[in-house]
Amino acid sequence: MPSSTSRVVENAKQTSETVLADASNAMKSATENPIQAKNDFLHTPMMRAALPFINGGLAGMTATTVIQPVDMIKVRLQLAGEGVKSGPKPSPVSVVRDIVASGKIMDVYTGLSAGLLRQAVYTTARLGFFDTFMKRLTVSAESKGSKIGFKERAGAGLTAGGLAAMLGNPADLALIRMQSDGLKPAAQRANYTSVVDALARISKNEGVLRLWAGCYPTVARAMALNFGQLAFFSEAKSQLKTTSLSSRTQTLTASAVAGFFASFFSLPFDFVKTRLQKQTRAPDGTLPYKGMFDCFKQVAKDEGMLRFYRGFGTYYVRIAPHAMVTLIVADYLGFITK
């Protein structure tokens, strides 16, 4: 037994010495040639698989920080005049004026923590999934001697958007609740202090499953948005490669095109998602809308079909720059980490 124990101890000692030696050599190599060390690390199988998700999340969070005030205005526009066809018709300017008049200009950044969490989950997933799907489709197409077309890009965008939306719905719901809280009378406001506070209180007071309220239109919106944004961005970039435009101009142009189509296809679903996520139960336990289709029906009947496109200009100003910043940052991160 003692000899067996000695052998185990000796083997463990040799193993630890080997690990320490390898770590020391790796650190020495990294010190002497940091660029090579970075490249070696970035090209490990684990990092190659993770980079599309990491880059996507960082790009989305950067864009959200820039665009958050526009998103706040968009939500306030969508919730104004709920249930009334001839209700108030606020403009982006009047919404900002009301916020400034209340003496709380920083309210335009209400829900930023929820917005960042949403991007950390949603955009990380959607851009990561899309990039992964596109790489696999490209390899498959090249093995057959062909190239991927718009149909494949659209399919990758729709699938990536749907999967990511389901993961990000709780943060999205918290964002809507925080942004709409200021529209309620002071006595009825929840006054959430952060996204963690919002998620915890909603779960406790309404049940955990409530965090997935509006999931169907959220998924539909994400699929429509990704179809417009990722598929058209990829297609536009592919078409612009034959032009004399610089690489940066091609990216900007493709992003603007993608932003328009993303806005057009997704706004009606975004509108319904906002209404469903904002609603809370009445004292008798009922909700204003029974679900996505009921909300579509009620809004069309009581407020008119054009209500679904209220605030399109604001929505485009929110979606297009967000898409442009996200895609440009993701493109740049992809370039420096390739």
CA distance 329 to 62: 8
> Taking residues 259-272, what's their average pLDDT?
87
Of residues 157, 168, 164, the one with CA closest to residue 134: 157
Q: How many CB atoms lie within 10 A of CB 40?
A: 14
- With 0-12 CB in 10 A as exposed, 13-18 as middle and 19+ as buried, what is 240? middle
> Taking residues 166-192, what's their average pLDDT?
86
By the 8 A CB rule, do 261 and 232 touch?
Answer: yes
Q: Check whether 55 has a pLDDT greater than 90.
A: no
Residue 220 resides in a domain: no
| pLDDT tens sequence across 185-207 | 888 888 898 888 999 999 999 89
Of residues 248, 35, 238, 268, the one with CA closest to residue 150: 238
> Taking residues 268-289, what's their average pLDDT?
85
By the 8 A CB rule, do 173 and 208 touch?
Answer: no
Note the pLDDT of residue 297.
93
CA distance 111 to 177: 8
Q: Check whether 263 has a pLDDT greater than 60.
A: yes
Residue 142 resides in a domain: no
Residue ranges making up the domain that contains 259: 228-305
> Taking residues 312-325, what's their average pLDDT?
79
Residue 219 resides in a domain: no
> Taking residues 45-62, what's their average pLDDT?
79
Residues 6+ apart with CB under 8 A from 307: 85, 271, 299, 300
| pLDDT tens sequence across 209-235 | 889 887 888 888 888 887 887 778 888
Note the pLDDT of residue 202.
92
Note the pLDDT of residue 294.
93
Note the pLDDT of residue 9.
47
Note the pLDDT of residue 185.
84
By the 8 A CB rule, do 160 and 59 touch?
Answer: no
Residue 149 resides in a domain: no
Residue 173 resides in a domain: no
Mean pLDDT of the chain: 79
Which of 34-38, 45-49, 265-269, 328-332 is least confident?
34-38
If one counts the domains in the chain, the total is 1
